């Protein structure tokens, strides 16, 4: 092939932008229209009307659970929430310098003990992994911070148990709803890097545990699971409503990006931001920090149109995720793990879908190195 033609193909395939890597019944992301659909339902509606377990059931099975099915799933999750003794020991053995995402990766891999991992992967494994992830996060968080780890409480649901095991206090209904809305909105987002990684690992007829561990590795990178710290810093730096416009204008004059705005795919308001805005409002009510966030959002959208006309820059998921995580008083080092504890549902749904119609992923590459100069 002529070098110029090869170069054009490479330019097109870098990052696989626009390349279709498979078909899925699980989720639709339409950035032009601002659609995020989970199995035929608007994700933003599910986030504010359903609990974590109901949406997990929907993504795994393709339909919303009946009351008995929901009860059964809740019981299965409750039974899977406790850490096996050897997993506790692994967590304790890992030095404090090992980041939380690598702790998750190591423990998820270790849960796939011999004879534990099924082919094809079973829904029971997805339930077990989704149930246990918050316990691993909370156990690590509390031991690193000199706090006694807490056992999950059987009477609490998934999101409530997570907050309880982290903080040691039974959370309010508003806090549970807010965390649940956030994690539901994180559950599924098409063929993103970590979901693709999970499907690639599974396509070799590996197992659920290895595939989720691969996905956690992909999620760890700042280009994917990057935490919304910067939005929090921006809101703290702005401080009061009267400072918003001059602060934002100054940032744009200096060529800086406004954190929590713009998206590669969404060219309208990110539907996840819309739902998180509702959930944040329900939790914080008339809290001044929410009032400030609303004011900053409106000023930023106006100024982005002035400074970057035609770029279609709107609020993205990070803007209100920051507001929610801050209001829940979660420590910034567990922002990405909290995102992961939602996304694990989407990964495991994709893993089962991949297994149901599997063909190993094996793309081509274009060789750009030298050829041997000798005959052999």
Whether the CB-CB separation of 154 and 50 falls below 8 Å is answered with no
Of 59, 138, 238, 258, the one binding ligand ACO by CB under 6 A: 258
SS3 at position 367: coil
The answer to whether residue 309 forms part of the interface with ligand ACO (CB under 6 A) is no
SS3 at position 2: coil
Active-site residue identified among 263, 274, 297, 350: 263
Looking from the CA of 71 toward its CB, the CA atoms found within 13 Å total 3
Active-site residue identified among 125, 318, 350, 353: 318
The answer to whether residue 112 forms part of the interface with ligand ACO (CB under 6 A) is no
Nearer to ligand ACO, 89 or 257 (CB): 257
Distance CA 133, CA 216 (A): 11
Q: Which residues pair with 165 in a beta bridge?
A: none
Number of residues that bind ligand ACO (CB under 6 A): 15
Q: Which stretch binds ligand ACO (CB under 6 A): 122-130, 197-205, 251-259, 288-296?
A: 251-259
The answer to whether residue 318 forms part of the interface with ligand ACO (CB under 6 A) is yes
SS3 at position 3: helix
Interface pattern 133-162 for ligand ACO (x via CB under 6 A): ------------------------------
Of 112, 121, 134, 260, the one binding ligand ACO by CB under 6 A: 260
Shortest Cβ distance from residue 131 to ligand ACO (Å)?
A: 25
Asked if 32 is an active-site residue, the reply is no
Q: Which stretch binds ligand ACO (CB under 6 A): 53-61, 280-288, 314-322, 346-354?
A: 314-322
DSSP annotation of 30 reads: E
Distance CA 302, CA 59 (A): 37
Contacts of ligand ACO in 265-304 (CB under 6 A): 304
Nearer to ligand ACO, 106 or 338 (CB): 338
- At 109, phi and psi to the nearest 5? -60, -40
Shortest Cβ distance from residue 263 to ligand ACO (Å)?
A: 5
Of 74, 79, 214, 84, the residue nearest 136 (C-alpha) = 84
Nearer to ligand ACO, 46 or 231 (CB): 231
- At 328, phi and psi to the nearest 5? -80, -5
The answer to whether residue 324 forms part of the interface with ligand ACO (CB under 6 A) is no
Asked if 45 is an active-site residue, the reply is no
Distance CA 308, CA 194 (A): 31
Of 261, 290, 314, 335, the one binding ligand ACO by CB under 6 A: 261
Token reading at 276: 């998180």
The answer to whether residue 308 forms part of the interface with ligand ACO (CB under 6 A) is yes
Q: Which stretch binds ligand ACO (CB under 6 A): 109-117, 170-178, 254-262, 345-353?
A: 254-262
Q: Which stretch binds ligand ACO (CB under 6 A): 119-127, 241-249, 310-318, 356-364?
A: 310-318
The answer to whether residue 313 forms part of the interface with ligand ACO (CB under 6 A) is yes
Alpha helices in the chain (DSSP H): 3-13, 43-49, 52-61, 67-80, 85-93, 100-111, 123-144, 158-167, 173-186, 193-202, 208-220, 229-238, 241-253, 271-284, 288-307, 317-327, 335-356
Of 195, 71, 76, 165, the residue nearest 127 (C-alpha) = 76
Q: Which stretch binds ligand ACO (CB under 6 A): 73-81, 176-184, 201-209, 306-314?
A: 306-314
Interface contacts to ligand ACO, rule CB under 6 A: 257-264, 304, 308, 311, 313, 316-318
Q: Which residues are catalytic?
A: 263, 318
């Amino acid at each position: 092939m002529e070098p110029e033609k090869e170069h054009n193909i490479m330019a097109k395939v870098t990052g696989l932008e626009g390349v279709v890597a498979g078909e899925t019944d699980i989720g639709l992301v339409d950035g032009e229209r601002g659609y995020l659909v989970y199995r035929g339902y608007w994700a933003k509606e599910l986030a504010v009307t359903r609990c974590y377990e109901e949406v997990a059931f929907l993504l795994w099975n393709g339909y919303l659970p009946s009351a008995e099915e929901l009860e059964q799933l809740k019981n299965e999750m409750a039974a899977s929430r406790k850490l096996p003794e050897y997993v506790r020991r692994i967590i304790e053995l890992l030095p404090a310098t090992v980041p939380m995402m690598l702790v998750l990766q190591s423990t998820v891999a270790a849960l796939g003990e011999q004879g534990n991992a099924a082919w094809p992967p079973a829904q029971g494994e997805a339930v077990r992994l989704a149930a246990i992830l918050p316990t691993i996060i909370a156990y690590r968080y509390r031991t690193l911070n000199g706090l006694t780890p807490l056992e999950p409480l059987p009477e609490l649901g998934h999101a409530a148990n997570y907050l309880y095991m982290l903080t040691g206090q039974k959370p309010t209904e508003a806090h549970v709803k807010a965390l649940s809305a956030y994690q539901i909105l994180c559950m599924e987002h098409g063929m993103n890097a970590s979901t693709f990684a999970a499907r690639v690992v599974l396509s070799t007829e590996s197992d659920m545990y290895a595939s989720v561990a691969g996905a956690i590795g992909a999620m760890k990178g700042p280009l994917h699971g990057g935490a919304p710290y910067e939005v929090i810093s921006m809101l703290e730096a702005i401080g009061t409503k009267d400072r918003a416009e001059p602060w934002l204008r100054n940032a744009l004059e200096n060529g800086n990006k406004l954190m929590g705005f713009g998206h590669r795919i969404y060219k309208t308001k990110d539907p996840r931001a819309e739902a998180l805005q509702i959930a944040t409002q329900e939790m914080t009510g008339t809290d001044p920090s929410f009032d400030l966030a609303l004011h900053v959002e409106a000023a930023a959208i106006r100024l982005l149109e002035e400074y970057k006309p035609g770029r279609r820059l709107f609020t993205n998921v990070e803007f209100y995720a920051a507001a929610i995580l801050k209001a829940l008083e979660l420590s910034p080092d567990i922002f990405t793990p909290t995102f992961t504890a939602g996304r694990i549902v989407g990964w495991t749904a994709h893993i089962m879908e991949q297994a149901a119609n599997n063909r190993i992923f094996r793309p081509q590459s274009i060789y750009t190195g030298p050829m041997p100069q000798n005959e052999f």
